[in-house]
Amino acid sequence: MMLRDKVIVVAGVGAGLGRSIALAAAREGADVVLAARTAERLDEVAKEIDGLGRRALAVPTDLADAAAQERLAEAARNSFGRIDGLVYNALAMPPIKGLGAVPLEALSASFDGNVVSALRLTRLFTPLLEESKGSVVMVNSMVVRFSQLGMGPYKLTKAALLAMAQSLATEFGPRGIRVNSVAPGHIWGDSLKWYFGYLAHKRGVEVEDIYTETAAGIDLRRLPEPDEIADAVVFLASPLARAITGQCLDVNCGEYHH
């Protein structure tokens, strides 16, 4: 029970990793504030958390909207009176294009969603996190570890998110707030399963063949699953990581070393 009686905000509760993070926090004893645009999905995850014996507050939120973020912070404060951890898992995916070709408007929108929105929400929760000596965990990506054609815009925004988390760790450390990042590799969830199915159909092979081919160059010869990424997030949010701040924990089964 690494998070017994803590209150954790999970911003960006999708059907994959966000849900896994929220449920992992609840299994470790936390009450959870759930934020995302889709109310129905939040309600489903809230019911699962209730089934684990913990409280859940579902707050439909467009995380790119400043006023919506303010309502989220107010709702969390009014419902629980404290916040011990903030997990930022929202993603605004830019076009897969070269930096020389990507529309600057699209790049700006992605930067706002991945970086500016994360900073704004962190600032809104900073007073409560200072009271609890809490922590922030930013969900990043292994894209910061390599360069690949077409992935420049995505790497640019995620590299900025990583730099921001490190700088916040330095700024907030004297106030007792830790700030860390988790960089997943390929996540063997619904989205990747769909994509591997698409590739398998296109190439006339089985999904298992695509998986084996992808995993062949990974140390553990497999891809991490959402729950395994979530466990790393929970660890960094917990007192077990009380001396860890400004770090980025790669969770990729050994695909990249850092």
154 included as an active-site residue:
yes
Give the mean pLDDT of 234-239: 98
Residue extents of the structural domains in the chain: 7-186+224-251, 188-223
Instruction: Choose, from 154, 198, 211, 256, the residue flagged as catalytic.
Output: 154
Query: How many residues appear in the chain?
Result: 258
How far out from the chain centre does Cα 221 lie? Answer: 24
48 C-beta neighbours (distance < 10 Å), count: 14
Which tens digit of pLDDT belongs to each residue from 185-207? 899 988 889 899 999 999 999 99
13 C-beta neighbours (distance < 10 Å), count: 30
Tokens of 239: 């007192």
Which tens digit of pLDDT belongs to each residue from 77-91? 999 999 999 999 998
pLDDT at residue 14 is higher than 90: no
Give the mean pLDDT of 169-176: 98
Among residues 183, 208, 179, which one has the least CA distance to residue 196? 208
Which tens digit of pLDDT belongs to each residue from 88-147? 999 888 999 999 999 999 999 999 999 999 999 999 999 999 999 999 999 999 999 999
What pLDDT, on a 0 to 100 scale, did the predictor assign at position 158? Answer: 96
CB 129, CB 80: distance < 8 Å: no
Average pLDDT, the chain: 95
pLDDT at residue 15 is higher than 90: no
| CATH H-level superfamily of 7-186+224-251 | NAD(P)-binding Rossmann-like Domain (3.40.50.720)
Q: Which distant-in-sequence residues (6+ apart) come within 8 Å of 169 by Cβ?
A: 178, 179, 180, 245, 246
- Taking the model in full, what pTM does it have? 0.94
What pLDDT, on a 0 to 100 scale, did the predictor assign at position 258? Answer: 85
Percent of the chain at pLDDT above 90?
93
How far is 33 from 77, CA to CA, in rounded Å?
Answer: 10
